[in-house]
Amino acid sequence: MNLKLRASQSKVQEPVEIKITGSKSESNRLLILQQQYPNLSVANLSNSDDTVHLKHALESDAQTLDIGHAGTAMRFLTAYLANQPGKKVILTGSQRMKERPIGILVDALRYLGAQIDYVEEEGYPPLQIEGKSLKGGEVTMDAGVSSQYLSALLLIGAQMENGLHLRLSGKLTSRPYLEMTTTMLTDIGLQVTFEDNHISIQPQKNIDQVEVTVESDWSSAGYWYGWVALQPAGYTVKLSAYKQISLQGDAQLARIYEKMGVKTRYGTNEITLTKSQEFEQPDGLEFDLTEQPDQAQTIFATCLGLGIDLKMTGLHTLRIKETDRIAAMEVEGARFRESEITSTSNSIHLHFPSDSPFNKTVRIDTYNDHRMALAFAPLCLKTDLIINDAGVVSKSYGDYWDDLKLVNVDITEI
């Protein structure tokens, strides 16, 4: 499905109120925990493809589980299934999933006693997993790898006979996602300590009855921060349901987007985003996104729209996402207006040699990556925009195109 987006000039009745479903990151962690602790009940689950795939896989009796593009599901299921005695499955996914490394997690699980074999290429899915009762104990992992590898182990830690003592070597990447995991474990009644680069989880097979309500997804809120940043002063959007004190590292969007003129006001389970009347556009911005790498495309598209020079670092995990996101930003960003875009293995730089106009009617590819479609869509405020394979947004925010219609974006399938 290819969509053409054109922002209507008719005035929006403000403030528009957008309801966003539960966080994908929180939902996926809670589904794994709920499978191990039936006394846990969960409300406001994400309706994203990733969460739907994970839920179906956990409920399935099939001998082959295909989780498509759902990277979180691949990592979390690898650990969960390895600790399920008597369960023997092949865990696979899309062609891109077969290109995304998983050897670091498999090595750690094997060290803890897991029986996992590679079906095709060494170090990559598909995996053949023969579940066992893992003994657990102490294991060391590189702290610079994707936090999903580490969270996958933590989510099964208390179910192992000796618990889990995870030592992290080197500089820690995406600490907020690890803190989200450990806080969730604590909140449902498990005994967890996280000190320096050592996380310890005591063995515990059961918990008391507990209900958890998932906060709405801050990553999805990011696209609305980008939308408001590109609007005239005074423009307002309300988003629900959000908390000022959040488990999600992407809640830092509120701080980041202050530099692009968006003010955040917290209410009861909602936030109000307003384009500031006092905003003075900076010549350039620089962000270290080591702890918020998923927001790189959103920030990049916003600065592209505003004409702000940008340097983003801490992006080394983006090379192995749904696509090489750094390369994708370089290619697609160059389609909009004259600019200089360069990159390294963990950074991207955006520079405007002049106040260049936008090209008329831009078409972009999405590379099977939901964030390419979601992050770049607000640029329809600057030019008519055609998004190829726009249905990819279902991975995390399936209602996005309907929500954009609420703010007077004309959307047609072509």
For the chain, give every domain's residue range: 3-21+215-413, 24-213
CATH topology of domain 3-21+215-413: UDP-n-acetylglucosamine1-carboxyvinyl-transferase; Chain (3.65.10)
Cα 245 to Cα 239: distance, rounded to the nearest angstrom: 15
What pLDDT does 11 receive? Answer: 67
Using the predicted structure, report yes or no on whether residue 69 has a pLDDT greater than 90.
no
* Average pLDDT, integer, range 75-91: 97
Catalytic residue, chosen from 49, 50, 250, 294, is: 294
The pLDDT-based confidence of 124 (bands split at 50, 70, 90) is very high
Say whether 117 is catalytic: no
CA 284 to chain centre: 26
The pLDDT-based confidence of 10 (bands split at 50, 70, 90) is low
Question: DSSP state, 337?
Answer: B
* Average pLDDT, integer, range 138-148: 91
Using the predicted structure, report yes or no on whether residue 171 has a pLDDT greater than 90.
no
Tell me which residue has tokens 């996602």.
177
* Average pLDDT, integer, range 21-41: 96
Topology alike, domains 3-21+215-413 and 24-213: yes
| Contact of 414 with 368, CB cutoff 8 Å | no
Using the predicted structure, report yes or no on whether residue 277 has a pLDDT greater than 80.
yes
What pLDDT does 12 receive? Answer: 67
| Contact of 77 with 65, CB cutoff 8 Å | yes
Q: Report pTM.
A: 0.83
CATH topology of domain 24-213: UDP-n-acetylglucosamine1-carboxyvinyl-transferase; Chain (3.65.10)
Using the predicted structure, report yes or no on whether residue 15 has a pLDDT greater than 90.
no
Using the predicted structure, report yes or no on whether residue 379 has a pLDDT greater than 70.
yes
CA 231 to chain centre: 25
- Give the E-state strand segments of 52-197 in sequence order: 64-66, 88-92, 115-118, 127-130, 137-142, 164-169, 192-195
Tell me which residue has tokens 């060494």.
122
DSSP bridge pairs for 274: 236, 263
Strands 164-169 and 137-142, bridge-based pairing: parallel
* Average pLDDT, integer, range 102-119: 97
* Average pLDDT, integer, range 105-120: 97
The pLDDT-based confidence of 17 (bands split at 50, 70, 90) is very high
What pLDDT does 348 receive? Answer: 98
